[in-house]
Amino acid sequence: MTAVEVTLVRYDFEARQETTTTFRSADRTVIDGLFSVLTQRQETTDCKCPYYGYMRLLGPSLDVRVQILPGHSTKYYDFYDTDRTRWKVPRAPFIEALERLGVKDVPR
Please tell me the distance from the alpha carbon of residue 57 to that of residue 37, in angstroms, as a whole number: 13
Asked if residue 84 is part of any domain, the answer here is: yes
Asked if residue 93 is part of any domain, the answer here is: yes
Total number of domains constituting the chain: 1
Per-residue pLDDT at 108 exceeds 80: no
Q: Kindly report the number of other CB atoms within 10 A of residue 37's CB atom.
A: 19
Q: What is the pLDDT of residues 76-101, one digit of tens each?
A: 888 887 777 888 999 999 999 999 99
Range list of H helices, 28-90 = 28-38
Asked if residue 108 is part of any domain, the answer here is: no
Asked if residue 95 is part of any domain, the answer here is: yes
Strand partners, 57: 4, 64
Q: What is the pLDDT of residues 4-43, one digit of tens each?
A: 999 988 877 787 888 888 999 999 999 999 999 999 999 9
Predicted TM-score (pTM) of the model is: 0.81
Please tell me the distance from the alpha carbon of residue 88 to that of residue 36, in angstroms, as a whole number: 13
Q: Which has more pLDDT, 72 or 40?
A: 40
Q: Which has more pLDDT, 60 or 48?
A: 60
Q: Which domain holds residue 60?
A: 3-101
Asked if residue 107 is part of any domain, the answer here is: no
Asked if residue 15 is part of any domain, the answer here is: yes
Asked if residue 106 is part of any domain, the answer here is: no
E-strand spans in the chain? 3-12, 17-25, 42-43, 53-59, 62-69, 76-80, 86-90
Question: Residue 28's pLDDT is what?
Answer: 94
Which CATH number belongs to the domain containing residue 87 in this structure?
3.30.1490
Asked if residue 25 is part of any domain, the answer here is: yes
Residue 105 φ/ψ region, left for φ over 0, alpha for ψ in the -120 to 50 degree band, beta for the rest:
left
Question: Residue 72's pLDDT is what?
Answer: 79
Question: Residue 48's pLDDT is what?
Answer: 67
